[in-house]
Structure 1
Amino acid sequence: MVGESYGPGVPRVGMGFDAHRFARDARPLWLACLQWDGTGIEGDSDGDVAAHALIDALLSAAGLGDIGMVFGVGGDSAGAGQHGGPMLERTVGILRRRHATPVNASVVLIGNRPRIGARRTEAERMMSRAVGCPVALSATTTDGMGFTGAGEGIAAMATAMVVVSD
């Protein structure tokens, strides 16, 4: 049971990570529950690394595994073709059925593009709406190192706090 060894009302923190390469085709770019200008991200779903990392953080905090356990893996999985926002909402529904309530979350994007500054507030609002708690969004680069620094892809890390009530 979720929170069994900690008792009700104890905050729990989870972490999540996701990384994808940029697509070579003309698919749309989805990130932090928003569509952006530019080349899309490869993945079975929309490739939204921010949403996917946040899903893993929420599930981890609640002791419910990871995104693959909920949505499956591959082109015929439950997550195939899905957008990050509805996937987050479905994840929160699973948490709530297990008496776990998200109370705070943070996501950091790692990559050279897109530049999020002008749309940060909009992205935070969309993710917060999907999760039902405040979600902060930040971004960084890797100063030219690795696949994100070379512009081949993008990654995200997330933390989430949930409170288990039962």
Structure 2
Amino acid sequence: MRIGQGIDVHAFGPGDHVVLAGVHILHERGLIAHSDGDVVIHALCDALLGALALGDIGHHFPPGDPRWKDVNSRHLLLHCAALMIERRYELANADITVICERPKIGPHVDAMRRNLSIDLGCAIGDVSVKATTSEKLGFTGRGEGIAASAVVLLQRRREKVNVSVGSTPELRALVGRLEPDLEGG
């Protein structure tokens, strides 16, 4: 088993929504970022990459690279899921905390968990998303931005990959490509 942790932060800027775990949430401000600023997915990617000892999200998706400008961060998560599968690991569980005063996260938690479980090819019960405020302290407390923290536990795959029916076509295609290697030991 392997444990990884990740943290991400983005400042508020112009805009009318934020994207968290692939969910578009109306808000009076957006997040300043090279990609879509999805702090949940960025922290989760760093946790996965850390557990796999593969560096960090900036190494895999450099912020100065125009290919990643305004990209949907779910594509980044699919890449990290592919790295996890290629190394014969699967997600045992993920625990993610969003830190902000606003917007309210609670109404969106189920959709966030669903998106993440689909992209990681795991059960929704293996993914926890929760939120907290910082009691008006620090940059999140002053409403200057959003932070997220993620912890993952990966376990070695012992058998053929079982991708859920609801997983993305990209992940199913990746698993289909990798299954002959996994069956061979």
Aligned to 1:60: 50
Matched, 1:97 2:76: no
TM-score (norm 2): 0.78
| Superposed displacement of residue 72, structure 1 | 1.3
Q: 8 Å contact 1:141–1:149 — kept in the other structure? A: yes
Of stretches 139-148 and 91-100 in structure 1, the one that deviates more from structure 2 is 91-100
Q: 2:3 aligns with which of 6, 9, 13?
A: 13
- Return the letter of the residue paired with 1:120: V
Alignment length (residue pairs): 154
Who is 1:109 aligned against?
98
Structure number with bigger Rg: 2
**Root-mean-square deviation (Å):** 1.5
Q: Is the 8 A contact 1:71 1:77 kept in 2?
A: no
CA distance in 2 between counterparts of 1:18 and 1:153 reads: 11
Higher helix share: 2
Q: Output the TM-score relative to the length of structure 1.
A: 0.86
Residue 151 (str. 1) matches residue 132 (str. 2): no
Q: Which runs of 4+ in 1 moved over 4 A?
A: none
Q: Which runs of 5+ in 2 are unaligned?
A: 158-184
Higher relative contact order (CA 8 A, sep 6+): 1
Cα distance, 1:152 vs. partner?
A: 0.5
